[in-house]
Chains A and B, each alone.
Chain A
Amino acid sequence: MEIMVGKFNYWIYIILIMVGFYGMMAKNNLMKKLIGMNIFQWSIILYYISIGAKKGGTVPIIMDTHSAAGQAIRAIDYINPLPHVLMLTAIVVGVATTGIALALLIIIYKKYGTLEEDEIIEALKK
């Protein structure tokens, strides 16, 4: 129980990543595959953001620089901003992936008139 509740953020990301993986591998419709891919990527972003969080931590901005210069800054009071910054990049990557995938799906739909994988494979065999 301890390992379930104490590390709930990891469990959430593992469940989400499995949902996404199932969607990508098992679904026949390419759009559903794409949605699965998005869940897959987003779960990793969630995981990264959760590792930066701290109980009782605050925004990592030092308000009063003049007085803070004298005393040591306690890093434990602040949320770790680095994973969040990394995820800004990863979100951009995710959006770009979705954009390219949607563009590909539009072309595929125009060509074959369907987004079902088995029907497209049938059409390609001809």
Chain B
Amino acid sequence: MISEHFPALIVVTPLILSFVVFAVGLFDRRYCFPLVIIALGACIHFAVSMMKKVIAQGSAIHYYLGAWAPPWGIEYVVDHLNALVLVSIAVISFLVAIYSNSNVKRELPEAKLPQFYTLFLLQVTGLFGITITGDAFNLYVLLEIASFSAYAIIAMGENGAQFAAFRYMIFGTIGACAYLLGVGYLYIITGSLNMADLSKLLPPLYHSKVLIAGFSFLLVGIGIKMALFPVHTWLPDSYTLAPSSVSALLAPLFTKVGAYVLIRVMFTIFDPSFSVTIFPVTEILGWVGATGIIFASILALAQTDLKRMLCYLIVVEIGFIVIGIASANRFGLTGAIFHIINDMFMMACLFTAAGAIFSQIGTRNIYQFRILHKTMPITMAVFIIGALSVIGVPPMCGFFSKWYLILGVIQAKKWVYLAVILIGSLLNAILFFRVLENAYFETRNNIENTLNNKGVTVTLDRIPKGELIPMMCFAVIIILLGIFSGKIINNIIQFAIPGALQG
């Protein structure tokens, strides 16, 4: 049966198609886009059917590449935690691919299309691979595939993007090398690279200094890749200057997949007791996340460029996820996992809307937004749904994950984190109202002009339907995730919490 091979196919399909797209693009560029859609559509099918299977059988799918049993071979594992992340990656990359079809033609020269789609698919390959792999070294390789395509695809952007990509590359390489060193330390002490095998071999060694050094290297490496607060400096420049559809792909997915890897390392490879009591990194991570929320919110308030503001918002949201992980109990981790999923869709929604605004009015400066609700009502509606979700207004999904995060910090009795989460949400509200105020209201001069002209007539957005529909899909998904949050948590996320943290 082919369905047994879905775990491998979800990585292999975009990988092979990425080269096919390039080869086909040499002859006829029109065929690139349909091929990308076919590849990503197939990935949605693989991801959804794997998630259904995991829910039905209630345990993880183990796939041995080349039928080599672990710990010798590479193992792909789909459990409740990453099944959900895989589906989200597949859906977002599919919708962003549709969005990019017309968007990228405006921002990039026609001749760059095959390269763009090749890198797009390689990026998705890397992200799927990071999520699905059950092998610590394989994760490094796929992390680098995702990072390389990110460096190259960001460098396609406007003036300055190449320099930003080079800086990102320096940071990213330090992160990847730190991760590799950490894996090396674990390998020295256990002689294994398989995550499930490592989790069995490590507990007797928990007081070893080698292990503590290795764990610290792993955390630093992942921290850089997921743009944790003090090492986030590569993110705003590179994501702002990248083409709109590239930042719509990278911003939702890359950092959140990093957060997923953090959960994997802290709670699957290591037992939760290690990072809570033996080597209390949760304490450090919590404070790092809390400072990150406050500082990144203030930095975001200082920005006038919409996309750069949203980039700092990514850092804020990573802070929320890290606080959830750091509270290390059932509610906190539920909130963190749910926030990973929600934040993917929220960021996809906001970045696609920001790209649409940029392509219609030609500027990203917030203070030049005027009466956008009349010239592009659909985009602004989508933007508001994303914004309300980030602020945490029910029934958008952002409310429910923040609710669980707050329950988690209350259970952990970390009152400072509670204050930070609430203040952070308020700062988010200020952040978005600053945008909406400029977009919805007019300056005094304009009002007089408008009165003389008997009002501006409402026109529909002048952007192609191919861009509007994915944006609206993201907005609908945000509301649906909120409405069905109980079902998602009871059927999937609940089983993704490690046994030691239950109860």
Contacts and interface: CB of A to CB of B under 8 A. Distances in A.
B179 to A, nearest CB: 10
B24 interface: no
A100 B169 CA distance: 9
A97 B169 contact: yes
Nearest to B173: A37
Interface residues of B, number: 26
Interface in A85-99: 86, 89-90, 93, 96-97
Given A24-B174, A40-B177, A107-B155, A101 B184 contact: no
B144 to A, nearest CB: 5
Contacts of A104: 151, 155, 162, 165-166, 169
A19 interface: no
A100 B148 contact: yes
A76 interface: no
Interface of A: prevailing SS:
helix
A41 B166 contact: no
Nearest to B72: A82
Nearest to A108: B162
A96 B148 contact: yes
B188 interface: yes
Interface in B136-174: 137, 140-141, 144, 148, 151-152, 155, 159-160, 162-163, 165-166, 169-170, 173-174
Contacts of A124: 159-160, 163
B277 to A, nearest CB: 29
Contacts of A101: 166, 169
A100 to B, nearest CB: 5
B163 A120 contact: yes
A20 B491 CA distance: 48
Nearest to A121: B163
A33 B173 CA distance: 12
B180 interface: yes
Nearest to A101: B169
Contacts of B166: 30, 101, 104-105, 108
10 contacts: A21-B174, A40-B174, A83-B184, A90-B180, A93-B176, A97-B169, A97-B173, A101-B169, A108-B163, A124-B160
Interface of A: 21, 24, 30, 33, 37, 40-41, 44, 47-48, 51, 83, 86, 89-90, 93, 96-97, 100-101, 103-105, 107-108, 111, 120, 124
Interface of B: 137, 140-141, 144, 148, 151-152, 155, 159-160, 162-163, 165-166, 169-170, 173-174, 176-177, 180-181, 184, 187-188, 193
Shortest Cβ-Cβ A-B pairs, 8 listed:
A107-B162, A93-B144, A104-B166, A124-B160, A108-B162, A104-B162, A37-B173, A44-B177
